[in-house]
Structure 1
Amino acid sequence: MKIVLVDDERHVREAVRLLVDWESLGIDEIYEAADGEEAAALIERERPGIVITDMMMPVRGGLDLLAWLQAHRPEIQKIVISGHDDFHLVRGTMQHGGQDYLLKPIDPEQLSGALRRAADRWREQDHSRKRELARSMEINQLRPVMRDRIFSDLLGGSDPYGNAHHALQELPGAPLASACRVVILSADSAAAEVANRYARNRDLLYFTLINIADDVLLPGGHGLACRNLREDGEVLLFCWAPPGAARTASPPLAELLAKINDGCELTLRSRFDFGIGPVQSFPDGTALSYQAARAALRERDVLAGRTHYYSYDPAVMRVSAPAPRLEAYEESLRLAALSGSDKPIRDAVGRWMADVRRLPRISAEQLQRWQAELAEMLRRWLQSDSGRSGERQDAQATADAHDAAIDTSGLATLDERGRLDLDRLESELIAILKAWSHGRAAAHQPSQSAIPAVVRYIEQHYNRELTLQDIASHFYLSREYISRRFKQETGENLIDFLCRIRIDKAKLLLESPHFKIAQVAEMVGYADEKYFSKVFKKWTGVSPNQYRKG
């Protein structure tokens, strides 16, 4: 604890220092000031728990100092030592929060007793302040979670207890909303680099997006942002609107969304897609607005490329041509895949693609539907093939073939502009069918394995930002298959193997004094120097600097 002694007479300050057993009181820092002005500056800097002051001093007297303390630092315990037995001074001391008024000459026992009482009061109040601060921090941490839950529940169509309006009252400047439109910020529309960076920490991505949106919406009372706890990948924007507003995105809303996307570009180096619902009554109509916003994202035309802002238009759906289902071509695709030959597979895929190329538009939902159709088809083929063959296949090999067959994520890949490249769609489907065919063959010949090729790939590309999904996509195999078979065949987890390769390379580079630690980190595939140092120490027991010195 700290204490400040304020008296214009130096010998008084020295006497106080000598008369008290400071250690027994838990006071370990003692500061001195010759007047109230000097004391105020010292108190601002050191933040003591107790101040002992004289009353009659030049520049700024004791009463002025006590009044200043009461206004700016009321938590500080105040003791007065004065040579004046004056009722006016005593009353002023009590009015300004002084706890004791002692007369000179100083009685050591009275001073020690007053200090002990002051120290006990300060500790008790400090404990209460810390407890209240901890409680406030806990409430502040829970408040966003509560807001996420309350506004996510609105999507179910009701708010029987009025929780939404109660939550709004806690927001500064928020209107008593009677109407709003729901806008969905799609976290899944992030650029590939951002998606990879936050793949293991999606909560941080949601937190960042919500803060960016709130910085735009909250100050002007335009709305609020929260996470959709009912649907992964969505940040909800509740944008307040007058009941009679137009059902399409008005210029003010367009400006707000553009500012949010500008903030995303500045902070995350990525822009995002928004689905915009119509104005509905709040809170009863929010579910309808939300469903329209979701439909706007699902029905966006992936042939046209990305515009980032989508409003649902039922008229577009009424004139859209029906999309050719993959299942209608299932038999020809299956026979081609069973052949294992390049030309039959290309011809079968080409017949389906000929119909796809005639479509005037393709929605994001249709693309996902084709992906799901393909996964289900491949699953059926594997079951049918295993059932008809009559062979007793190795259970592990069958599981491997199954895992390898159902990874169809590449089929729904869009380019950096959010556009579907039909040539790429065709080549992805061909590659997936070939991978299924090879996986089926591997089920009959368990000795064939892709893992040696995976090992070589990692050894050649360790210096890239490499993830399990990247490796699985490169070989058209599922993450589960790669992960399980890699551990079985090498005795080591794939991620551990990648880390070991990187750390071994880093050791060699650290032996050269010409490379900085940050350069070494980047050369072995770590963009973050601090994260590299953490991983290096975990594997070697020493930091990169310590290793280099050794």
Structure 2
Amino acid sequence: MRVLLVDDEPHVRKSVRLLIDWKSLGIDTVLEADNGVAATTIIQAMEPEIVIMDMMMPFKNGMELLEWMQQHGGGRSIIVISGHSDFEFMRHAIRHGGMDYLLKPVDKSELQKAVRKAVDSCNAAKQQMLELRQLSGEMNEMRSLRRDKLLAELLAGPASETVQEALLRELPSLRNVKRCTAAIIRPGFAERGMSGLPASRLHELLLNVVSIAGRALGPEEKGLAFLSGTDIREVALLIWDGLPEAVSLAGAIAQTLSESLKVRCDIGVGGEREFPHFLHQSYREASEALRSRNMLHLHNAVQQWSQETRERDGRLKFYKFEETIYLAIRSANAGQIEAVVRQWIDSIRAVGFLPLNVLQQWREEYQLFKTRLAEELLPNDSGQREDEPAFLIPLQEDGGFSLEGLQQELNADLIRLQQQLLRVQQSANRNVIGEIAQFLESNYMRDITLQEISDRFYLNKEYISRRFKNQFDETITDYVNRIRIKKAKVLLLNPQLKIAEIAQMVGYHDDKYFSRVFKKWVGQPPNEYRGSVSGV
């Protein structure tokens, strides 16, 4: 916080400096001026929150300085220190923003109290301003959300008269709009959002897209940019200038976004339609244009809708490869999987056309295929069923599609599934729970966790616990404790071994805990047991 001392007498300014404990008040800067004119210059340059001033000064006296400060914006606390008790001076000071009027020679405690009061007033004003700004920001955000919701209703279908009137109240300039072209921005990071980008981060990035696109459109001059509300990965554009201009403007926006965000941004542009009644039709066309873009040749970021858009097809059908993939998985040979996947990728290259909607359809069919395969070959009670990770559409860093990435992703995913099936087959041919029991007997002195057993035998923890209890009629913990106590009883026959040593030898790091467990199983503490078996 800054304070300005204004007095033509240097010793007065020096006294005020010495009388006040500035640090305790949170004041880190004390400025000085020896006349009213110099004070105005410092106030304009440094903007002190508190002014401590005299009334009788050269060039511009205290009354004139008070008037000048009031004319040039208040918001600062003013304390007058004067040698004159004239009522007119006091009234003038209070009328023009003076908080306190102190008479010279000033009392230290009164001055400290007056400055404290001024500091509190400044802090309260700052807090109030902060709250007002926060409230204003929240109100603007609510207004923006309300506007976006109304626009989203127009995109979804023919809106009611109530919705249209509410939107026109929010955006009166739309009354002059007769025709409109809808467009959809789909940034590369939003496509990658399917791979797990946090929703909050995705929303933040999309707001940046809205801001950049909005600046390119101007404040409602050429159109609007907003979150579509129908898809969390999209930003919607409404452009007023006609279809050719809309396509050109979309291209400029795509380039600006790419340069600013360092990521590819595809934009689908619908046809020009009557506003607001047929805006939803233009929006559907923009969505169709995006979904039908060829992922193998993304040369142009702007995809314009045409009647031919609806007739495009990727031609390749995933179900034609299902049996071949199934046989490759059952072959227990990773090379067979790689050969099948290579055949599939070569077929895609030969066709040379892969729309996004076909790619997404394949993804869903592939997930369904894996689910059916798991249900057939991995029964729920086998303990081998794992949560299937979602198969991801591989995209490059700039958001472009990677056919090589798709090949790698399929190879890795199918080989992982093949290895999982192999483990099931191997487990079916042996008594896994018996092997677990043998493992525990050989390692009873170690602290073995259920997770370690799960990792070692490729079975989930719940399955291990349930099967072990059914087969041995006791939990794994009781089984290990029983082995340890049995070993401990043998070691207790040696009088040279201390109880603490025996506890360590059988896997207990705390001899007191060992004693409690021993008593629970044997019915007496280790010392008493040793005495009973030795005849002492």
Q: Aligning the two structures, in what range does the TM-score lie when normalised by the shorter sequence?
A: 0.5 to 0.7
Pick one of 363, 376, 395 that aligns with 2:382.
395
Alignment of 1:90-239 (within 5 A): 93=93, 96-99=96-99, 121-122=121-122, 124-139=124-139, 148-157=148-157, 158=159, 160-161=162-163, 162-168=165-171, 177=177, 179-188=179-188, 201-219=201-219, 221-239=221-239
Pick one of 357, 366, 369 that aligns with 2:358.
366
With over 3 angstroms needed to count, the CA separation of the structure-2 counterparts of 1:363 and 1:131, relative to structure 1, is: closer
Q: CA deviation at 1:98?
A: 3.6
Please give the alpha-carbon distance, in whole angstroms, between the structure 1 residues aligned to 2:109 and 2:398. 79
Q: CA deviation at 1:39?
A: 2.0
- What residue is the counterpart of 1:523 in the other structure? none
Please state if 1:60 is matched with 2:60.
Answer: yes
Structure 2 SS opposite 1:221: coil
- What residue is the counterpart of 1:278 in the other structure? 271
Please give the alpha-carbon distance, in whole angstroms, between the structure 2 residues aligned to 1:357 and 1:31. 75
- What residue is the counterpart of 1:261 in the other structure? 254
CA contact (8 A) 1:321 1:360 kept: no
Letter paired with 1:325: K
Please give the alpha-carbon distance, in whole angstroms, between the structure 2 residues aligned to 1:51 and 1:346. 80
User: Structure 1 stretches of 5 or more lacking a match?
Assistant: 387-391, 449-484, 492-550
Pick one of 288, 297, 303 that aligns with 2:290.
297
Please give the alpha-carbon distance, in whole angstroms, between the structure 2 residues aligned to 1:416 and 1:112. 62
Q: CA deviation at 1:292?
A: 1.4
Please give the alpha-carbon distance, in whole angstroms, between the structure 2 residues aligned to 1:432 and 1:27. 62
With over 3 angstroms needed to count, the CA separation of the structure-2 counterparts of 1:215 and 1:490, relative to structure 1, is: farther
User: Structure 2 stretches of 5 or more lacking a match?
Assistant: 430-450, 458-536
Please give the alpha-carbon distance, in whole angstroms, between the structure 2 residues aligned to 1:347 and 1:155. 46
CA contact (8 A) 1:188 1:233 kept: no
CA contact (8 A) 1:198 1:205 kept: no
Q: Output one character per residue of 1:409-463: Cα deviation in whole Å (capped at 9) or x when no partner.
A: 36x6689794675x88678767755554443223223599xxxxxxxxxxxxxxx
Q: CA deviation at 1:351?
A: 8.1
Structure 1 SS opposite 2:388: helix
CA contact (8 A) 1:394 1:443 kept: no
Please give the alpha-carbon distance, in whole angstroms, between the structure 2 residues aligned to 1:393 and 1:122. 69
Please give the alpha-carbon distance, in whole angstroms, between the structure 2 residues aligned to 1:95 and 1:227. 51
Q: CA deviation at 1:261?
A: 2.9
Q: Output one character per residue of 1:363-421: Cα deviation in whole Å (capped at 9) or x when no partner.
A: 211122122222222322332345xxxxx786331x13x727xx5436x6689794675
Pick one of 436, 445, 460 that aligns with 2:426.
445
Q: CA deviation at 1:35?
A: 0.9
- Structure 1 residues 4-13 or 361-370, which shifts more? 4-13
Alignment of 1:76-91 (within 5 A): 76-81=76-81
CA contact (8 A) 2:79 2:100 kept: yes
Q: CA deviation at 1:201?
A: 3.4
Structure 2 SS opposite 1:409: coil
Q: CA deviation at 1:227?
A: 2.8
Letter paired with 1:371: R
Q: CA deviation at 1:184?
A: 1.4
With over 3 angstroms needed to count, the CA separation of the structure-2 counterparts of 1:427 and 1:107, relative to structure 1, is: closer
Please state if 1:317 is matched with 2:317.
Answer: no
- What residue is the counterpart of 2:281 in the other structure? 288
Letter paired with 1:444: Q
- What residue is the counterpart of 2:392 in the other structure? 409
Please give the alpha-carbon distance, in whole angstroms, between the structure 1 residues aligned to 2:398 and 2:131. 50
Please give the alpha-carbon distance, in whole angstroms, between the structure 2 residues aligned to 1:116 and 1:418. 62
With over 3 angstroms needed to count, the CA separation of the structure-2 counterparts of 1:368 and 1:133, relative to structure 1, is: closer
Letter paired with 1:489: D
Q: Output one character per residue of 1:212-268: Cα deviation in whole Å (capped at 9) or x when no partner.
A: 2233223573333333443232122233x15xx34xxx23x3443334333333333
Q: CA deviation at 1:192?
A: 7.6
Please give the alpha-carbon distance, in whole angstroms, between the structure 2 residues aligned to 1:322 and 1:22. 79
Q: CA deviation at 1:207?
A: 3.4
Please give the alpha-carbon distance, in whole angstroms, between the structure 2 residues aligned to 1:74 and 1:263. 43
CA contact (8 A) 1:306 1:417 kept: no
Q: CA deviation at 1:186?
A: 0.8
Letter paired with 1:403: E
Please give the alpha-carbon distance, in whole angstroms, between the structure 2 residues aligned to 1:394 and 1:34. 91
CA contact (8 A) 2:190 2:233 kept: no
- What residue is the counterpart of 1:540 in the other structure? none
CA contact (8 A) 2:251 2:302 kept: no
Q: CA deviation at 1:324?
A: 4.0
Structure 2 SS opposite 1:258: helix
- What residue is the counterpart of 1:308 in the other structure? 301
Please give the alpha-carbon distance, in whole angstroms, between the structure 2 residues aligned to 1:14 and 1:37. 20
Structure 2 SS opposite 1:295: helix
- What residue is the counterpart of 1:489 in the other structure? 455
With over 3 angstroms needed to count, the CA separation of the structure-2 counterparts of 1:12 and 1:278, relative to structure 1, is: same
Please give the alpha-carbon distance, in whole angstroms, between the structure 2 residues aligned to 1:339 and 1:108. 95
Letter paired with 1:370: W
Structure 1 SS opposite 2:383: helix
Q: CA deviation at 1:142?
A: 5.3
Please give the alpha-carbon distance, in whole angstroms, between the structure 2 residues aligned to 1:119 and 1:430. 69
CA contact (8 A) 1:36 1:60 kept: yes
CA contact (8 A) 1:324 1:352 kept: no
Q: CA deviation at 1:38?
A: 2.5
Please give the alpha-carbon distance, in whole angstroms, between the structure 2 residues aligned to 1:233 and 1:344. 37
Letter paired with 1:270: V
With over 3 angstroms needed to count, the CA separation of the structure-2 counterparts of 1:328 and 1:61, relative to structure 1, is: same
Structure 2 SS opposite 1:69: helix
**Normalising by the residue count of structure 1, what TM-score does the alignment of the two structures yield?**
0.62
CA contact (8 A) 2:294 2:353 kept: yes
Q: CA deviation at 1:69?
A: 1.7
Identity %: 28
Please give the alpha-carbon distance, in whole angstroms, between the structure 1 residues aligned to 2:222 and 2:341. 50
CA contact (8 A) 1:275 1:296 kept: yes
Letter paired with 1:309: V
With over 3 angstroms needed to count, the CA separation of the structure-2 counterparts of 1:181 and 1:487, relative to structure 1, is: farther
Q: CA RMSD in A?
A: 4.9
With over 3 angstroms needed to count, the CA separation of the structure-2 counterparts of 1:447 and 1:97, relative to structure 1, is: farther
Please give the alpha-carbon distance, in whole angstroms, between the structure 1 residues aligned to 2:48 and 2:396. 62
Structure 2 SS opposite 1:403: coil
With over 3 angstroms needed to count, the CA separation of the structure-2 counterparts of 1:198 and 1:347, relative to structure 1, is: closer
With over 3 angstroms needed to count, the CA separation of the structure-2 counterparts of 1:177 and 1:72, relative to structure 1, is: farther
